[in-house]
């Protein structure tokens, strides 16, 4: 936009610079970070879709600053803002009008970010603030942390070790060559040296060392990386085709969203079979994140009949009566996200003269006004509420259910919200919306009521709101407070998410004085967020308690079974949640994270009135950490508690090894632990030791940053273990990126977790198949592939080492170069690729029915240094047989039909043929899932591959071809070798001699010392304890 003439012209994104005024039209992508100064909407509103930023497809509302809307600006205006950063949800700036020097605060609501798409708005105009790499989307485009699997690390170590072994072999060859070169009999043989000068011992050592270094190049399988990556790619494709990990959701518009398993990083496929720690978010991960309003407490009276699945389990565990399910009246309205039944509430709402009618009205009016929900027109003329989180939507729907229906929001110079209250439309003016944050743990709204009075409505976490209440007993009745707290405890036992609702009447003078301070905080450029939070806290005090809400977030299907199976498989499951300790523990019971038979340990410091010890445990308590006088005293208290818990778990579980334990931790105890670790590192070791002895850990009231620090603490304390984090929201991203493996769940909070993850699934229950089936299969496959590639290259290379002792280490090479280079590509690649992609030693049904089999991966049954060197010992043994059996056979029977004598190249081709046959048969011993595909792979490698190429190259000689294709060295060898009985006898004898000892070893090991996988394989074939079971 030309700021002088006002004309509009199209420009490329690359030509947009800071300070330009840009016009963006409907459905265009935003080219840079813009501050809105005008919109086609009369109220200065604009809608954007932020899918490119956070994966959310619902429209977000942005608006011109209310004081700037419809105002015309001339030259001399200035825009001051923060430096470029990666905070997508925060922006601090001030726009100053050059005409009268008036300043207008700017926030994230006034900003359009690059990469978002303008929707439902004809056009907008904005001032460019950041371009190119300074835009927020580019600042967030940092590379994800590099994650390398432990198998890759082990492979790198083995490669270095094999290179060291290769150097040793080359050094031996050099030393032997030097000893031969110093012998006079060798020095005087002119037929050896020809016209060249005989080599000295020293020069021969160096020369032969590097000669054999070239000959032994294939000792290190260069194809390892390529074949491993190709196998992982095929594994990922097969994983995504698993219908047992497929999920779909139908939204309110009838649109079906499909969520198959998505492998976003194939690098970690085998790592999925070695997971020992799972760190899980709760909301949206273990639960559905579909909230239902179930109960409430108003003025000390609880409403809402019935209980939840979690509540029934709690009452059953504690031998308490279980209430019957309420019967819903046919006259009750049906409202989304509301499962509230109480005839008493219906009577209060129907009788305006009821003593509790006024406080009930205030309660639901607060729910209908204190939110940032946007109404949208849905099918059949229904109003659908679009909320940033499902909790808010459930509360607003609850207000509608009880006769206070929010249906309109207009953001003009002053924001206006319209409610339908018992059939009458009433408008309210929203003066300030004090937003929720994870630090504040509350949200508030200041409203100009219809009668002109000012009201502050607040809702938030109980531990926060209780501190903000007026302490005057005449204002907040102590009996009512105690009753509300008792109701909160009851709701916690039902596994419900609770909030307290409070309000205050604001005198006009107090509000105006506060509003000036709030405006000053809004326009400050440095530390604006802290200044705003301080200003908000200044008005949120001396509140009157109205009541409490209780929302149910149901567990996802199959969560309990998945967690129980993972625990049986040796996986330690940690639940990290922001809920209260009681709520978290009850949900832990309901999802089988905690069982009644477990020894329950508690390391809690933050909830007043709740001692750290559980009933029946004579352990020292951990008081509120703020009560200790110094950091040293705090550290000592934490150390005493951890020591006592360690002693308890060792004593109880040591006496009964079958008994398991769980640990409950809260954020205050973790914060104290982190602070104490600065002075005493032993505290961290005590905590990790304790957590390693328990089967499950519940961390309550933890923040997103603490989640990541917990995962990092475990990783650093146990570097050999594999950790996995799973979550569904943006607050889980730090935890997901910190763990070895990150799993994102397609949830209702956008795709931030999925975008930051290594694998994505539709629901938590699919984690069972992902780990116990695919993870375990892939771990075994990749382990065999790694071991086998090093093994077969040892079988290929070492015969040349033995040959050196027969040719004074002259560096003679008896393999045909072209075939030698094709060994890892044409002759042996297909069978191992089949095994690494499709082989199944245990069926999926057995793997999930017997999760204990998964422990083999954790215990490194398939891959370790010991197992690797066992394979290398097999390779050394097989190379001896492959070399000396043919050498012995043809040194005696070296005459073939027609009187021809087998020579150097004939022996080389025979040994090469044996190399391929022996390693192929050895691989066949590892295949468990015979489908016919592997037969095709073997046939393609041996028949058209080795056999066909040998025939073709042996029958044709063309010296005009390049050296690597010229076949004169092996001309005629095919007819000579394949036409003799000695050849076939040698192949049979060599193969049997190489294979039988290994076969006997595997058989004896399986019979006498079977692993869990061996037993699972028998069960998959229909055998149990030596008895054939009916299919």
Helix ranges restricted to H, 469-548? 478-493, 508-523, 528-539
Q: Supply 748's token pair.
A: 């209702």
Q: Supply 171's token pair.
A: 């050094």
Q: Please state, in angstroms and rounded to a whole number, the distance separating the CA atoms of residues 978 and 401.
A: 88
Nearest-5° Cα angle at 23, 18 to 27: 120
Q: Any residues with CB less than 8 A from the CB of 907 and at least 6 apart, and which?
A: 814, 886, 887, 890
Q: Please state, in angstroms and rounded to a whole number, the distance separating the CA atoms of residues 218 and 216.
A: 5
Pairing of strands 497-506, 454-460: antiparallel
Q: Any residues with CB less than 8 A from the CB of 600 and at least 6 apart, and which?
A: 594, 614, 617, 661, 662, 664
Q: Report yes or no: 569 and 855 within 8 Å, Cβ to Cβ.
A: yes
Helix ranges restricted to H, 447-504? 462-468, 478-493
- Catalytic residue at 281? yes
Q: Over the range 566-594, which residues count as b (16 or more CB within 10 Å of their CB) and which as e?
A: bbbbbbbbbbbbbbbbbbbbbbbbbbbbb
Q: Please state, in angstroms and rounded to a whole number, the distance separating the CA atoms of residues 918 and 1000.
A: 16
Name the nearest CA neighbour of 383 among 420, 416, 355, 412: 420
Q: Report yes or no: 96 and 74 within 8 Å, Cβ to Cβ.
A: no
3-state secondary structure of 442: strand
Q: Supply 796's token pair.
A: 């290929």
Q: What distances in angstroms separate CA 4 from CA 8, 21, 74, 262, one per listed residue?
A: 11, 11, 9, 52
Q: Any residues with CB less than 8 A from the CB of 178 and at least 6 apart, and which?
A: 201, 202, 204, 205, 208
Return phi, psi of residue 416, to 5°. -130, 135
Burial category of 1019 from C-beta neighbours within 10 Å (exposed 0-12, middle 13-18, buried 19 and up): buried
Query: What residues does 444 pair with on adjacent strands?
Result: 434, 458
Q: Supply 779's token pair.
A: 């771990």
Q: Catalytic: which of 33, 281, 839, 856?
A: 281
Q: Supply 566's token pair.
A: 């993972």
Nearest-5° Cα angle at 81, 431 to 130: 115
Q: How far is CA 199 from the centre of its chain?
A: 62
Q: Please state, in angstroms and rounded to a whole number, the distance separating the CA atoms of residues 379 and 697.
A: 45
Pairing of strands 374-377, 759-761: unpaired
Burial category of 932 from C-beta neighbours within 10 Å (exposed 0-12, middle 13-18, buried 19 and up): exposed
- State the DSSP string of 91-111: --EEEE-TTT--EEEE-GGGE
Q: Report yes or no: 361 and 419 within 8 Å, Cβ to Cβ.
A: no
By annotation, the residues acting in catalysis are 281
């Amino acid at each position: 936009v030309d700021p002088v003439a006002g004309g509009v012209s199209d420009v490329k994104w690359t030509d947009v610079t800071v300070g330009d005024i840009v016009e963006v039209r409907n459905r265009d992508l935003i080219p840079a970070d813009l501050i809105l100064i005008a919109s086609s909407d009369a109220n200065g509103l604009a809608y954007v879709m932020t899918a490119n930023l956070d994966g959310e497809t619902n429209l977000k509302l942005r608006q011109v600053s209310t004081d700037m809307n419809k105002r015309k600006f001339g030259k001399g205006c200035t825009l001051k803002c923060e430096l470029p950063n990666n905070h997508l949800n925060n922006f601090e700036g001030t726009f100053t009008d050059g005409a009268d020097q008036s300043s207008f605060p700017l926030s994230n609501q006034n900003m359009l970010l690059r990469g978002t798409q303008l929707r439902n708005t004809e056009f907008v105009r904005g001032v460019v603030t950041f371009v190119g790499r300074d835009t927020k989307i580019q600042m967030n485009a940092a590379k994800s942390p590099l994650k390398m699997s432990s198998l890759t690390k082990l492979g790198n170590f083995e490669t270095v070790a094999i290179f060291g072994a290769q150097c040793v072999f080359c050094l031996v060859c050099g030393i032997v060559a030097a000893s031969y070169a110093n012998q006079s009999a060798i020095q005087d043989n002119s037929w050896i040296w020809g016209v060249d000068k005989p080599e000295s011992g020293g020069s021969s050592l160096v020369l032969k060392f590097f000669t054999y270094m070239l000959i032994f190049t294939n000792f290190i399988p260069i194809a390892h990386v390529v074949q491993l990556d190709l196998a992982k790619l095929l594994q990922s494709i097969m994983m995504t085709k698993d219908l047992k990990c497929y999920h779909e959701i139908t939204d309110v518009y009838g649109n079906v969203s499909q969520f198959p398993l998505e492998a976003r990083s194939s690098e970690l496929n085998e790592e999925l079979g070695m997971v020992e720690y799972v760190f899980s978010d709760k909301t949206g991960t273990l639960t559905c994140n579909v909230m239902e309003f179930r109960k409430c407490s108003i003025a000390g009276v609880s409403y809402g009949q019935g209980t939840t699945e979690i509540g029934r389990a709690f009452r059953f565990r504690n031998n308490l009566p279980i209430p019957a399910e309420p019967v819903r009246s046919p006259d009750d309205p049906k409202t989304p996200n509301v499962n509230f039944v109480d005839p008493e509430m219906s009577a209060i709402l129907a009788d305006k003269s009821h003593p509790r009618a006024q406080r009930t009205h205030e309660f639901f009016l607060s729910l209908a006004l204190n939110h940032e929900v946007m109404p949208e027109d849905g099918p059949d003329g229904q109003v659908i509420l679009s909320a940033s989180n499902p909790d808010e939507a459930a509360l607003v729907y609850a207000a509608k259910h009880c006769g206070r229906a929010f249906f309109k929001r207009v953001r003009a110079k002053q924001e206006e919200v319209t409610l339908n209250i018992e059939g009458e439309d009433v408008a309210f003016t929203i003066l300030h919306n004090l937003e929720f944050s994870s630090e504040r743990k509350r949200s508030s709204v200041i409203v100009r009521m219809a009668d002109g009075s000012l009201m502050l409505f607040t809702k938030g976490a109980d531990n926060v709101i209780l501190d903000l209440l007026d302490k005057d007993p005449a204002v907040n009745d102590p009996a009512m407070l105690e009753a509300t707290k008792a109701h909160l405890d009851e709701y916690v036992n039902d596994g419900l998410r609770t909030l307290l609702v409070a309000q205050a009447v604001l005198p006009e003078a107090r509000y105006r004085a506060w509003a000036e301070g709030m405006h000053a905080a809004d326009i400050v450029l440095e530390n604006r967020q802290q200044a705003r939070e301080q200003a908000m806290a200044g008005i949120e005090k001396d509140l009157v308690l109205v009541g409490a809400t209780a929302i149910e977030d149901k567990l996802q299907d199959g969560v309990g079974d998945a967690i129980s199976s993972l625990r049986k498989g040796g996986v330690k499951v940690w639940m990290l949640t922001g809920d209260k300790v009681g709520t978290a523990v009850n949900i832990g019971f309901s999802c089988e994270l905690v069982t009644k038979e477990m020894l329950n340990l508690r390391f809690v410091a933050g909830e007043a009135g709740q001692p750290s010890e559980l009933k029946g445990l004579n352990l020292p308590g951990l008081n509120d950490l703020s009560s200790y006088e110094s950091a040293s005293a705090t550290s000592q208290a934490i150390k005493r508690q951890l020591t006592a818990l360690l002693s308890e778990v060792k004593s109880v579980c040591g006496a009964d090894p079958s008994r398991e334990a769980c640990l409950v931790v809260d954020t205050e105890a973790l914060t104290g632990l982190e602070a104490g670790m600065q002075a005493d590192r032993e505290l961290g070791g005590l905590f990790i030791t304790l957590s390693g002895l328990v089967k499950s850990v519940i961390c309550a009231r933890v923040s997103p940053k603490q989640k990541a620090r917990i995962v990092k603490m475990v990783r650093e304390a146990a570097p050999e273990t594999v950790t996995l984090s799973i979550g569904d929201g943006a607050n889980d991203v730090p935890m997901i990126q910190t763990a070895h493996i990150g799993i994102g769940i397609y949830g209702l909070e956008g795709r931030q977790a999925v975008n930051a993850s290594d694998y994505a699934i539709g629901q938590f229950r699919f984690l069972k198949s992902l780990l116990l089936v695919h993870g375990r299969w892939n771990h075994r496959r990749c382990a065999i592939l790694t071991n086998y590639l090093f093994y077969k290259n040892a079988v290929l290379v070492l015969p040349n080492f033995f040959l050196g002792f027969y040719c004074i280490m002259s560096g003679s090479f008896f393999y045909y170069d072209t075939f030698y280079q094709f060994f890892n590509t044409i002759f042996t690649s297909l069978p191992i690729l089949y095994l690494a992609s499709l082989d199944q030693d245990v069926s999926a049904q057995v793997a999930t029915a017997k999760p204990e089999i998964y422990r083999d991966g954790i215990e490194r049954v398939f891959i370790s240094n010991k197992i690797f060197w066992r394979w290398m010992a097999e390779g050394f043994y097989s190379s001896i047989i492959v070399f000396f059996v043919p050498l012995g056979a043809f040194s005696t029977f070296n005459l073939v039909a027609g009187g021809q004598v087998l020579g150097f190249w004939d022996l080389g081709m025979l040994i090469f043929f044996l190399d391929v046959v022996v390693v192929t048969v050895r691989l066949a011993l590892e295949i468990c899932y015979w489908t016919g595909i592997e037969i095709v792979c073997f046939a393609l490698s041996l028949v058209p591959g080795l056999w066909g190429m040998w025939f073709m190259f042996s029958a044709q000689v063309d010296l005009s071809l390049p050296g690597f294709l010229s076949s004169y060295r092996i001309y005629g060898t095919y007819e000579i070798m394949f036409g003799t009985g000695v050849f076939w006898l040698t192949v049979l004898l060599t193969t049997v001699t190489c294979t039988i000892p290994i076969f006997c070893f595997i058989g004896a090991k399986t019979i006498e010392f079977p692993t869990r996988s061996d037993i699972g394989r028998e069960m998959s074939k229909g055998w149990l304890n030596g008895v054939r079971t009916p299919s």
